[in-house]
Amino acid sequence: MVDKKNCEGCWISLILRLAFASLFAAAAISKWSHGLAGLNGLVTNFQTTFKDTWLPGPLVTLHARLVPYIEAVIPVWLLLGFRLRLAWVFTALFMVTLAFGLTVAQSSSAVDNYFYVLMACAGIYFSQYDRTSLDSPGRAS
């Protein structure tokens, strides 16, 4: 059992949740603020970035169309904390898809995304200590 008076893991979990929620909220807002033109521009950007790679075009297009929705769901899910461990696993796997794509496109920012994958894995680990999520065992009824 986690000592409620001295719970560094609780704070780490909360800080990671806030950091990732703000990261994804900012990304989603920037994509959605331009409306349909912004969303179609994102698809075009993905298609251009990956046109000379071995990734199948329809898969790239599907991923590009899903990105704005996923980036809008993740901050809400992490902030609510419902099934927090699953939220972190989903976030980490999504980050893997972004990092993998950047690696295939030979982008130098792929390293940054793998760092985010590592931080999402820390979120998975520290979610066991979280006491501020909707379904945490330490939450008062």
Whose tokens are 């939220």? That residue is: 87
Query: Could you give the CA distance from residue 4 to residue 6 in angstroms, rounded to a whole number?
Result: 6
Q: What is the pTM of this model?
A: 0.86
Mean pLDDT, the chain, integer: 88
Q: Provide the percentage of residues in the chain whose pLDDT is more than 90.
A: 65
Task: Give the pLDDT of residue 9.
Answer: 86
For residue 140, what pLDDT band results from cuts at 50, 70 and 90?
very low
Segment 121-138 mean pLDDT: 84
Burial 65-98 (b: 16+ CB within 10 A, else e): eebbebbbbbbebbbebeebbebbbbbbebbeeb
Are the C-beta atoms of 81 and 136 separated by less than 8 Å? yes
Task: Give the pLDDT of residue 141.
Answer: 35
Q: Is the pLDDT assigned to residue 36 strictly greater than 90? A: no
